[in-house]
Structure 1
Amino acid sequence: MLRIPQPLTPPSICLVAPFAPPYGGMAVQAQQWVDQLTAHGFLVVPVRANRRPSDVSLWSQLPGVRTGVNLARFLRDLVSAFHCTDVVTIFSAFFNYFFWVTFPALLVARAQKKPVILNVRGGAAEAFFHRYGTILRPMMRWVSAVIAPSGFLAQAVERAFGVKALIVPTMVDVDRFPFRIRDFGRARLLAARNLESLYGLDVVLESFARVQKKIPHARLTLVGDGSLRLFLERLAVRLGVASSVQFCGAVPHVEMPAVYDRHDILVNASRVDNLPNVILEAFACGLPVVSTRAGGIPFLVDHGQTGLLVDVDDCDGLARGVLHLLESAESARAMVYKARFEAEKHAPKRVINRFLEVVSFVLSERSR
């Protein structure tokens, strides 16, 4: 446990992250952090790291120009925000995001001598560290603290750089997700991820086709959008399940509690992942989970206790997991009570208090 001297006045915090729209895990988390820190009385200055989809100006249609203008705007916003805040926290994904967002933010913070808390995110971190470790190692000395939402990422950071990452869990506002026990006879399945290869929606569809052979009235809803939508719609037709699959597109996060409430099982087939918001939200509202054990997911889902885990790309295993829950209601009910208890460990107050311990520690170290 950190020993924290209490500051006389709350520090001001700059939070650099992607924000919705579009809706993704980091964007949802970032907005919750801004809302909760503000509710706790802190001045929070958010800096948006992603371009708004509503930007339809001429320059936004020209790839080379667009990149330059976006970077110039981002740097301008960083300089302005860092100037009026005490500490910077950067939500950092990896690969392209790191070079276009994290690295420029670190440079500006270093130039302005601002303490930085690096909030590492994403299931691809370990591969990125392995590939670019030589470049990253000096940069890790520029940050005052590293935080991670799971033991999976904390271990990856320590293995790559010998730096101890402090765990600040992913946040879920459990009060927004009413808990209830499902009627598993309805067999309404939900997959809520962006329609991209790393989230394995093709595996979800293949698995659903197997489930429907056993339970013809089963239905599947896909929430999310992405580059594979047309491919997945055609796959559903080829598998003969198109009439039982609904593609909803992107849904604002504020509407997700109602979406969860209409379904009976959450199916997740990630190929690369860390600690998905969607699983925590399912835990909170009593939606049993069948997932692949990609990346950090086993650090969240205790197989057989809070959900079921199968190997990545295991269509048969995913289908068996779904069928087990549908056919063994007592087992499913036992899991969801344990899962709700796990979700409560990620309640906003706990997460924010832990983060503020890190902020206070960083500022106290800096004042020495």
Structure 2
Amino acid sequence: MKIVYIGNNLKRGNPTTLQNLSALLSTVGYRIKVYGTSKNKFLRILEMVFGVCKNYKATYVLIDTYSTTNFYYALIISQLCRCLGVSYIPILHGGNLPVRLKKNPLLSKLIFKNSYNNSTPSLYLETEFNNQGYETVYIPNPMQLESYKFKKRSHISLKLLWVRAFDEIYNPNMAIEVVSELKKRGITAYLSMVGPDKDGSFADCKELAIKLGVENKIEFTGYLSKEKWVQKAANYDIFINTTTVDNIPVSVLEAMTLGLPVISTNVGGIPYLIKDKFNGFLVENNNVDEMVASVLDLTKMNSSDINILIDNARVTAENCDEGKVLKKWQEILK
């Protein structure tokens, strides 16, 4: 069976969802043709169109679908598939796609009502799309769980880890403000911030750390490969996620797999992943005081309660095991 996969195939940083899923499907004999390598947006859509036309006899076209510019890529490719008589499956990733459904109902209907199926690695998007009448199936992003060494913890220290791109929507300043607020209370915490700069927020965060007098308590590593930050995570005890908009962040799932207790803002698809005080902690968006309180609550937990929390988180993450994910895809790609 031949499958064309349209999405982000840029050769930089850690492997993308497209690269992981196409590699997984290839292991059981699917012939995957991937398109989306050009950094130039115009050239990228030309490459995508060419790929679909060249492989018009493919059984399926998979389309990674987001809520911004990529939404229009998905629109163009989906309608081209309809013209060629090729079945296509949008894979829904963008946390703001429910807004797009309301903002562009006609364009959304053209894409999602005429698809062979709609899939998403987000329970949030599955719920939102089904509520809007677009039949959608939940299939998590695949993870090699054996690559993540689970660590039991007898106590929680004030060593915090943040892993994300430095971008305003991920609110990295909040992580620094948490360390500052703890310092105001006479409590010393250490924070490592891992990730590449995306919009200039990296420099802003360094300036903020100096302004708040916590620069000697914060490490800025820049980009690290997945292997390196996972190895680094063994030396930390709390993972904080400060985003203002999100879906199902892979870094949060990875932290849960590693046994790192997670404290996250309660936005987008996060509450579909984390249940407060069951497999992590949820705080209101941009609420530094709530995150500080949750950090301190974690440090006061006994070892039994800590390990119940992180065991629950690990079980949640195990739904993303690549073997389980592959079976779900095989059910669709019959």
- Assess if the C-alpha contact under 8 Å between 1:116 and 1:143 holds in 2: yes
Change (3 A) 1:50 1:266: farther
Change (3 A) 1:50 1:146: farther
The aligned residue for residue 343 of structure 1 is 317
5 Å-filtered alignment, 1:1-368, equals 11-23=1-13, 28-48=16-36, 51=39, 66-80=40-54, 82-83=55-56, 85-99=58-72, 101-160=73-132, 162-182=133-153, 184=155, 186-214=157-185, 216-225=187-196, 226-227=198-199, 228-330=201-303, 331-360=305-334
**Partner Cα distance (2:37, 2:296) in 1:** 41
- Assess if the C-alpha contact under 8 Å between 1:301 and 1:307 holds in 2: yes
2:80 partner letter = V
1:14 partner letter = V
Q: Deviations over 1:2-60 (max 9, x none)?
A: xxxxxxxxx22222221354447xx6322221221122232222222662xxxxxxxxx
TM (norm. structure 1) is: 0.84
State the number of aligned residues. Answer: 331
- Assess if the C-alpha contact under 8 Å between 1:306 and 1:339 holds in 2: yes
Tell me by how many angstroms 1:232 deviates.
1.3
Where structure 1 has 5 or more consecutive residues not aligned to the other structure, the ranges are 1-10, 52-65, 361-368
Change (3 A) 1:28 1:183: farther
Tell me by how many angstroms 1:84 deviates.
5.7
Tell me by how many angstroms 1:354 deviates.
0.5
Q: Deviations over 1:154-203 (max 9, x none)?
A: 1221233x122111123222111000124645422111111111112111
Tell me by how many angstroms 1:329 deviates.
4.3
**Partner Cα distance (1:292, 1:88) in 2:** 35
Change (3 A) 1:17 1:329: farther
- Assess if the C-alpha contact under 8 Å between 1:174 and 1:347 holds in 2: yes
Q: Deviations over 1:262-286 (max 9, x none)?
A: 3211100111111111111111111
**Partner Cα distance (2:235, 2:103) in 1:** 43
**Partner Cα distance (1:40, 1:242) in 2:** 50
Where structure 2 has 5 or more consecutive residues not aligned to the other structure, the ranges are none
- Assess if the C-alpha contact under 8 Å between 1:12 and 1:85 holds in 2: yes
- Assess if the C-alpha contact under 8 Å between 2:75 and 2:107 holds in 1: no
Change (3 A) 1:111 1:316: same
**Partner Cα distance (1:235, 1:152) in 2:** 33
Change (3 A) 1:185 1:117: closer
**Partner Cα distance (1:50, 1:206) in 2:** 38
TM (norm. structure 2) is: 0.92
- Assess if the C-alpha contact under 8 Å between 1:268 and 1:291 holds in 2: yes
What percent identity do the matched residue pairs reach?
A: 21
Local SS of the residue matching 1:279: helix
The aligned residue for residue 365 of structure 1 is none
